[in-house]
């Protein structure tokens, strides 16, 4: 069976969310994934719930929503989440006890197989990679403790390029569906600077879909990668998303 999964960092409610959310819904409808994982949900505005409702009302797409706030003070601001067409068997979460970062997992039964889908957002790229190495180690240990799953998928913003030690550690256990650049789009306020002006646009891959050895990739690519037709500075997010068609079973 083939399932389509995608991941996107939403950039909370920053930089014209009221306008760019329409791009997210349009391009989400075109992509039509079975599961969409999300980083930087903005908890005060509940934009995850807004996307869920918009997909139902505008596109007739029924998704269930799972959310997990970050730890510490960040819990009031942002979190991780996923939208899914598949019934959820159970959920769990991991607090890394590191920079308020967390991970979320949802379990599904697909083709009589137990499939765990993880969502995480590691510490920012400006911090030393040793912090991300610690978080990856904690994540892999947690995944290993849930070894009754037949298949595992890990999605999110890892804030590190493929040549960094944290990503090499992840790649020793999982396969990435792609390594195309995902950071950063030219998204900006009118007359303002784009996100992270100190870095180039589309300069490296930092967002991933990782799969266990039991899963095969039928196709993969980038998504949420088109600006508004009449505004080159308005994009769905400051990140480009990633999608993959995965063969389960």
3-class DSSP state of 59: helix
Question: Could you give the CA distance from residue 172 to residue 95 in angstroms, rounded to a whole number?
Answer: 23
Q: What b/e readout covers 49-69, taking b as 16+ CB neighbours within 10 angstroms?
A: ebbbebbeeeeebebebbbbb
Structure tokens at 225: 């990668």
pLDDT in tens, the chain (249 residues): 999 999 999 999 999 999 999 999 999 999 999 999 999 999 999 999 999 999 999 889 999 999 999 999 999 999 999 999 999 999 999 999 999 999 999 999 999 999 999 999 999 988 899 999 999 999 999 999 999 999 999 999 999 999 999 999 999 999 999 999 999 999 999 989 998 899 999 999 999 999 999 999 999 999 999 999 999 999 999 999 999 999 998
Structural domains for the chain: 2-247 (3.60.10.10)
């Amino acid at each position: 069976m083939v399932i389509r999964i995608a991941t996107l960092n939403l950039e909370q409610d920053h930089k014209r969310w009221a306008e760019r959310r329409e791009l997210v819904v349009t391009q989400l409808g075109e992509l039509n994934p079975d599961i969409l994982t999300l980083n930087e949900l903005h908890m005060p505005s509940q934009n995850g719930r807004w996307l869920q409702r918009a997909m139902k009302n505008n596109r007739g797409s029924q998704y269930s929503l799972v959310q997990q706030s970050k730890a510490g003070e960040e819990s009031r601001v942002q979190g991780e989440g996923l939208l899914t067409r598949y019934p959820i068997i159970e959920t769990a979460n991991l607090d890394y006890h590191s920079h308020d970062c967390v991970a979320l997992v949802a379990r599904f039964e697909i083709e009589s197989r137990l499939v765990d889908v993880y969502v995480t957002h590691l510490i920012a790229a400006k911090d030393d990679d040793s912090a991300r190495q610690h978080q990856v180690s904690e994540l892999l240990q947690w995944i290993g403790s849930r070894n009754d799953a037949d298949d595992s998928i890990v999605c999110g913003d890892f804030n590190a390029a493929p040549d960094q030690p944290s990503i090499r550690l992840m790649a020793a256990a999982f396969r990435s569906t792609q390594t195309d650049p995902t950071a950063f789009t030219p998204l900006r306020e009118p007359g303002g600077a784009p996100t992270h002006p100190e870095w180039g646009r589309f300069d490296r891959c930092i967002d991933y879909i990782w799969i266990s050895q039991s899963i095969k990739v039928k196709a993969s690519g980038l998504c949420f990668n088109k600006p508004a037709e009449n505004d080159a500075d308005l994009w769905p997010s400051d990140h480009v998303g990633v999608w993959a068609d995965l063969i389960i079973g």
